Structure 1
Amino acid sequence: MSKGASVPREFEDLLTPAGRRILSGRSDVCGALADPRRRFLAVDGLISKGKAEALRRVLEAELLPLLSPMSDPIPPETIWEMEHDYEEWLPKTVRVRTAYLERKRDTAYLRAQELGVVDLLKSESAAAFAEAVVGRKLDRRSGQQVLCYGPGDYAGPHNDHHPENKRAAQGYLDMHLSLASKAVDHQYLVYAKAGHFTEMLPVHGLGFLTIYRLPFWHYTTPLQAKAGKEAIARRWVLLATYLYAPEKAKKSA
Structure 2
Amino acid sequence: MGRDAMHTGNQTYQSGFAMRSICSLIIATCIVTSPASLYCQAVPKVLSMITPDYPEGINEGGFVICEVFLLSDGKIGIATAIKGDSRFQGAAERALSSWLFEPSRGNPLRRVLVSFAFYPTTFSGLRNKVVAELIGDRGLPIRIGPRLVSPLAKSVRTAAAIVCEVHDVRLKVDIVGLGYGLVLPCPAFERAKDNLFPHSNRYVMGGCVVQPENAAEVLYCPKCRQAEARWLKAHPMQE
**Common fold: TM-score over 0.5:** no
TM-score by length of 2: 0.27
**Higher Cα radius of gyration:** 2
Query: Larger % of helix: which?
Result: 1
